[in-house]
């Protein structure tokens, strides 16, 4: 499958490399490819410059947000939640029309420092905002309740015995995304319902952040025991 990935940070790189490993044709989008490739310092999380990363992942192409969206039969939003709408607007509504948009982002608000709060919650969600902004797209919220490494390698923790959730209005789109999650190694995939249920998974982030602070490790996840 041709897949566009929006975002070159930790999540975008993890998703893109896994998809390429699985044989998908991946094009990663960023605002300014030339500027991104010109960076020589590690990012704020210690990741190597994108140029170095790409040398290790030669099958992954790089372009603008619009080029990634046009390339993809399916598009992954791996941008920071605070700029997701802006990034998707740069990708272009026409390029996203009729396509599945897999939203991995969380609406984290760092304006008051750490730990972050949520910029939207309770009566709305980022997933819903994206669906409203791009009504011709099929938004599926998933993979936003664990770190990037577990997103694409759930077997690294508890032999994969933990849970990933999906939310979205289109049943067929959720079916496609579920198959993609299974190819990553996910076994326990729970369909919560329509896109409004993304409010629940996004509101899991405050407890995620605090568990991270208490354990000093991002290698944990949620499991639905039933």
Number of domains comprising the chain: 1
225 belongs to a structural domain: no
Q: What is the pTM of this model?
A: 0.95
In contact, 66 and 102? CB cutoff 8 Å: no
- Number of H helices and number of E strands within the chain? 11, 10
220 belongs to a structural domain: no
Quote the longest CA-to-CA distance of the chain. 50
222 belongs to a structural domain: no
224 belongs to a structural domain: no
Residue 35 pLDDT grade (very low, low, confident, very high; cuts 50, 70, 90): confident
78 belongs to a structural domain: yes
226 belongs to a structural domain: no
Q: Tens of pLDDT along 176-186?
A: 999 999 999 99
d(CA 154, CA 167): 19
Q: Which CATH number belongs to the domain containing residue 107 in this structure?
A: 3.40.50.720
120 belongs to a structural domain: yes
* Residue 203: HSE in the Cβ half-sphere, 13 Å Cα cutoff: 11
Joined together, the tokens standing for residue 85 give 């709408």
* Residue 165: HSE in the Cβ half-sphere, 13 Å Cα cutoff: 23
Domain containing 208: what range? 2-215
Report the chain's mean pLDDT, rounded to a whole number.
95
Average pLDDT, integer, range 119-125: 95
- 191 CB-near residues (< 8 Å, 6+ apart): 165, 166, 167, 174, 178
Q: Tens of pLDDT along 38-95?
A: 888 887 777 888 889 989 999 999 999 999 999 999 999 999 999 999 999 999 999 9
159 belongs to a structural domain: yes
In contact, 105 and 131? CB cutoff 8 Å: no
């Amino acid at each position: 499958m041709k897949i566009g990935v929006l975002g070159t940070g930790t999540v975008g790189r993890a998703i893109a490399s896994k998809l390429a490993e699985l044989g998908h044709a991946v094009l990663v989008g960023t605002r300014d490819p030339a500027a991104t490739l010109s960076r020589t310092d590690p990012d704020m999380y210690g990741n190597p410059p994108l140029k170095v990363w790409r040398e290790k992942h030669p099958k992954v192409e790089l372009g603008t947000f619009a080029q990634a969206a046009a390339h993809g039969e399916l598009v992954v939003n791996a941008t920071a939640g605070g700029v997701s709408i802006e990034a998707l607007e740069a990708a272009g509504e026409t390029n996203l029309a009729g396509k599945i948009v897999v939203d991995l982002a969380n609406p984290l608000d760092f304006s008051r420092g750490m730990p972050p709060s949520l910029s939207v919650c309770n009566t709305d969600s980022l997933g819903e905002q994206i669906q409203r902004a791009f009504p011709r797209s099929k938004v599926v919220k998933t993979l936003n309740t664990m770190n990037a490494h577990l997103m694409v390698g759930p077997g690294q923790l508890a032999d994969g015995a933990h849970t990933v959730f999906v939310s979205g209005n289109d049943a067929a789109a959720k079916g496609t995304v579920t198959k993609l999650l299974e190819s990553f190694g996910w076994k326990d995939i729970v369909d919560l319902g329509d896109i409004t249920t993304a409010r629940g998974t996004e509101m899991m982030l405050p407890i995620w952040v605090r568990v991270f602070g208490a354990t000093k490790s991002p290698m944990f996840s949620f499991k639905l025991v039933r």
